[in-house]
Amino acid sequence: MQKIEIDDVTIERFMVGLLETNSYLLTSEDAAILIDPGFAEDELVDRVEAFKDLKTKTVLLTHGHFDHTGYCPRLQKAGWRVGIHTEDKFLLNRVPGDFDDLGYRDEPFEPYITLREGVCYNIGSLSLDVIHTPGHSPGSVCLLDLKKRIAFTGDTLFADSIGRSDLRGGDYDTLMESLKKLTSLLEPDTLILSGHGGRAQFKVVRRINRYL
């Protein structure tokens, strides 16, 4: 687990599942936001349990692939409100056959919140704007706080690569358009926290990522 402090918000990063998905837990005094809770692994579950009495507990999904959503049914039962973009709802609860033996349990759930471009989710002094960035999947979103220079980019942008566009509903040209839109918003010192792999400042990403 890696930890970053931004003013009054703590961001913990957990790497979960065989696909090593990054789950990010953001906490402030009275709220918690969990981004992409892919699998209910012990370390993450223990941390999440510690917040069970908080009133405001929100899960924000960067997209609907199972390696980002697997822990959601349990979380929703435990009082977390799960949000996803409408266009990725069709991906929920569909685990590709190749991944059957990961121990993933395909449990239906209905997300509570619809993520839309322009809507913003606050925690402490952080304010995460939803930016719709289709291409990896139709309802992929990034969550940005441009003032605090932080960007959760899901599987749209990794430090040294980009997400696949050959999965259901993916499209390469659309992904390229989304990357243009996303990168036009980012300052060089914005910290990129992606769905897989390590973190990096955007100026480093620009240098090492051949897709940009």
Positions in the binding site for Zn ion (CB under 5 A) = 65, 67, 155, 195
Closest separation between CB of residue 198 and Zn ion, Å? 15
Nearer to Zn ion, 73 or 135 (CB): 135
Closest separation in Å from C-beta 7 to Zn ion? 29
Q: Between the CA atoms of 68, 183, 126 and 8, what dihedral angle is there, to the nearest 10 degrees?
A: 90
Shortest distance in whole angstroms from residue 156 CB to Zn ion: 9
CA dist list (Å): 83 to 30, 59, 63, 138, 179: 19, 6, 10, 15, 22
The distance of closest approach from Cβ of residue 102 to Zn ion in the complex, given in angstroms and rounded to an integer, is: 13
124: left (phi over 0), alpha (psi -120 to 50) or beta: left
**Which of residues 67 and 145 has its CB atom nearest to Zn ion in the complex?**
67
Helix (H) or strand (E) holding 194: strand 191-194
Helix (H, G, I), strand (E, B) or coil at 137: coil
Secondary structure of the chain: what % helix, strand, coil (to 5)? 25, 30, 45
Q: Which is nearer to Zn ion, 37 or 195 (CB)?
A: 195
Comparison of 93 and 127: residue with beta carbon closer to Zn ion? 93
Q: Which is nearer to Zn ion, 9 or 59 (CB)?
A: 59
Which residue type does 36 have?
D
* Residue 94 C-beta: closest distance to Zn ion, Å: 12
